[in-house]
Every structure is written in structure tokens, then in C-alpha cells.
Amino acid sequence: VLPRQTCGLFTHTIYYQDYPGGPKALDNSIMGGELFLTVLLNPISVFMTHLSNYGNDRLGLYTFLHLADFISTWTHLQLDTLPPLQLAQRYFTLFPQQRQPLWQNPCDDKRHRDIWSKEKTCDRLPKFLVIGPQKTGSTALSLFLLMHPSISSSFLGPRTYGEVQFFNTNNYHQGIDWYMELFPLPSNVTSDFLFEKSSAYFPSEDAPRRAAALLPKAKILTMLINPSDRAYNWYQHQKAHEDSTASRFSFYDVISAQHGAPADIRSLQNRCLTPGLYHTHLERWLTHYPVNQLMVLDGQQLRRDPAAVMDEVQKFLGVTPHYNYSQTLTFDQQKGFWCQLSEEGKTKCLWSEGQKYPPMEPEARSYLSRYYREPNIDLSKLLHRLGQPLPSWLREELQKIS
């Protein structure tokens, strides 16, 4: 399926007399108006329709005969056509970036809204995304967000660890109907906030462009901890989930593997270290979203003082009513984490028992401090430019340098 131009011909119009705005509007469109300009300004014009609309009636014939006639009378354009496959090849040679679909919100354009089925809505789309990266506390952030009476999330996808992972994986090719089905219908479109958390969005090459095309107004929440700790937590997570490479090789072996190392270690190393190049990934998000839609949270602060962080998040999102987290979060000494306090006075924590693994070896820590030195400097410059405060872990890492 090729992308097509919106030509102003409504696919549900069957009869000439029924053309929206009257037949005169159609004639104007053909004779110098939108339809003519579509052909004039696009090297390839692709018109798609249902046979029942254009095929069985004379409206399509009338339109395209008159259009061809008008173009050959008034321009030097040579009209040409090719069989579908060759046309597709020609098209994608001219527009290679369009090989991949890019879904936009059908409700943003009135013409699309008019042909969008009455049963469909565009309200089942998130107002904000929690983009990760993994192992920074994004699950805890989601749990806290869901405590807010006006915030709901997507239903959980069992295949991708409770995450939707739409913008970064082949799920994207399932289309926006598939995506919207994963969200509840908001009871109040203006005050309800839908969101989804997919922590692999953060380092994804595709996610920012795709997310911005569909959700240009969405707010983006990201949470950062020291990238060295993130890499270590991630490695331990892989090991706990019986990743065979992580089980065979020590953390230091993985992070310090050189070019000639076996492919499985290099691949694990890449997945372990690349998300921590925070500056590179943030810059990518910022080429697609304006600064004021992006909030960078300090994961260490969320762990220490979640109520304060959640206050800032509520302000940033503009969500009402203000929810007082200091009354509904409690610190569980045994688990070492802040947990949700239920009305019956019970605590609901994320993990049944604290995640236990030995602290990172000093050798690995100093290796990673060196590895992330330049990226951390770049991150501090970026946060400075954004007017966002430097998290304490970043200040500590920068001090190590000076």
C-alpha cells in the first residue's frame, strides 16, 4: 500500500450531485483547485478508493477525465502510469524515507475525521509516555502514577513484560487501531490522563519519530539514574532471568569486551551500555518533541523521596486534582523501598522481596565511570541548556573528573 495524497475527494461520495459543497466545488477542485494542485505539486499522485465509490459510478470517471483534460490543456506535464509493482518501486526510489509507514492521528485533519468511522474515536490515545530507560525505576513511577484518580494506563501486554512496546517494535505495523484497543475509553476526555510505559522507547531509534507523528502533543517522562548503576542493574536483571551469556560471563567481562570478542558478549554489552548514553537518546527525542514537553526525572530521587517527585510530575502534566502522595506512600524498612499504603493500612510493594545482588566491584565502577565520562559531560551541558537541575549522581560523576 502506497501512501496517498488527500485529494479532497471523499470516498463515500457516490453521486456527482452529492459532492460536499455541491458539484461546483468538485469542478473548482479539478480546474485549478486542490485536486489539480495535488497532481501539479506531487511527482507521483496515488489515489486510492473503494471500487464501490469510484468504480461503479461515473463520479470517478468524470473527475479523472476532466482532471487529465485540464492538466494537458493548461500545463506541459506529461501524465504517465505504471503497473502497481513498478509504480511502487519508482515511488520508493523517489521517497525512500516512506518505505516505513508513519501513523498520524486521523483526528488531526478534518478531512480524515470526516471519513473516519463513526464507531471510532481518537480519544483512546495516551496523553503522556513514560519512556524509561529500563532499570531506572520506571515501574515504580508507573505504580505511583496509577494511584492518581485521573490517571490510567494501557492494558498490560503479557508478551512484552506488561509493556505495549508499540513505537519501538514490529507491533507498530499492527497499526493504530491495534494500539488504541490497548487503552480504556476515558470517562472524561479533558480531565482523564491515559499513559503507557515502555522502557525500551528511550534508546530506540524509531520511537521518537513515530511517537511524535501520532502523539505530537504528548508529554514525555524519562527517568535517569547513574548510567553505571543502570548497566549493572540491567546485567543482574538479565542474569536473574537466566540470560545464558549473562550467566556465563562476569559483569566486568561483559562491559570490557573488546571488538574481537564473541558476538553474544558484544550484543549483551551493547544492550547493557548503549541505553546509558543518555545525551544521545535525549537529543533524538528533542529533535521530535519541544523541550517543554519533556521532563527528565532523577531516579535516585524517586527512590529516596517519591512524594516530592510525584508533586513535580503532577505539575508538569497539569493533572487535577492534586494528589497527596505523602499520605499514601510508606517506606517499607524490610524491602528498602517506598510502597503504596492501602486504605486498610496494608502496604503494596513492587517486589515481594528486595532485589538482592552484591554491590558492583570497584574495578567495574571505575571502568564505567571512564566509559560514561564524555557522555555524562554532554548530558550535563544538555540539562543546563534545558534549564533542568543536575541530578546528584551526575554532579558526583562530574566531580570525579575534575
Query: Least Å distance between CB 9 and ligand A3P?
Result: 48
* Identified binder of ligand A3P from the candidate list 338, 371, 372, 393, rule CB under 6 A: 338
Kindly tell me which of 86 and 392 has the beta carbon lying closer to ligand A3P: 392
Q: Under 8 Å CB-to-CB from 72, ≥6 apart: which residues?
A: 79
* Identified binder of ligand A3P from the candidate list 154, 199, 228, 293, rule CB under 6 A: 199
Determine, following the binding rule CB under 6 A, whether residue 140 of this chain makes contact with ligand A3P: yes
For residue 197, the cross-strand partners are 130
DSSP-assigned states of every residue in 110-162: HHHHHHS-TT--S-SS-SEEE---TTSSHHHHHHHHHTSTTEEEPPPPTTTTT
β pairing state of 337-341 and 347-348: antiparallel
Closest to 27 in 3D by CA, of 66, 65, 74: 66
127, 135, 197, 219: which is the annotated catalytic residue?
135
**Residue 340, all three cell numbers:** 503504596
| Catalytic status, residue 135 | yes
Query: Least Å distance between CB 283 and ligand A3P?
Result: 21
Q: Which residue's C-alpha cell is 517506598?
A: 338
Q: Identify which range of 48-56, 165-173, 290-298, 349-357 contacts ligand A3P by CB under 6 A.
A: 349-357
Q: Which residue is nearest to ligand A3P (CB)?
A: 139
Query: Least Å distance between CB 220 and ligand A3P?
Result: 15
Cβ 205 vs Cβ 165: under 8 Å: no
Size of the site for ligand A3P (CB under 6 A): 16
Contact characters 228-267, ligand A3P, x per CB under 6 A: -----x----------------------------------
Determine, following the binding rule CB under 6 A, whether residue 355 of this chain makes contact with ligand A3P: yes
Cβ 210 vs Cβ 167: under 8 Å: yes
Kindly tell me which of 88 and 307 has the beta carbon lying closer to ligand A3P: 307
Peptide bond connecting 359 to the previous residue in cis, omega within 30 degrees of 0:
no
Radius of gyration of the chain (CA): 27
Q: Give CA–CA dist 219/38, Å, rounded.
A: 34
Q: Identify which range of 201-209, 245-253, 350-358, 374-382 contacts ligand A3P by CB under 6 A.
A: 350-358
Q: Give CA–CA dist 100/98, Å, rounded.
A: 5
* Identified binder of ligand A3P from the candidate list 303, 367, 373, 375, rule CB under 6 A: 303
Kindly tell me which of 7 and 221 has the beta carbon lying closer to ligand A3P: 221
Query: Least Å distance between CB 373 and ligand A3P?
Result: 23
Q: Identify which range of 31-39, 52-60, 105-113, 347-355 contacts ligand A3P by CB under 6 A.
A: 347-355
Kindly tell me which of 226 and 233 has the beta carbon lying closer to ligand A3P: 233
β pairing state of 151-153 and 128-130: unpaired
Cβ 30 vs Cβ 36: under 8 Å: yes
Query: Least Å distance between CB 161 and ligand A3P?
Result: 9
Q: Which residue's C-alpha cell is 464501490?
A: 52
* Identified binder of ligand A3P from the candidate list 7, 129, 130, 135, rule CB under 6 A: 135
Q: Give CA–CA dist 355/334, Å, rounded.
A: 12
Determine, following the binding rule CB under 6 A, whether residue 201 of this chain makes contact with ligand A3P: no
Which amino acid, residue 59?
Answer: L
Residue positions annotated with a catalytic role: 135
Q: Which residues of the shown chain bind ligand A3P in the complex (CB under 6 A)?
A: 134-140, 199, 233, 302-303, 337-338, 350-351, 355
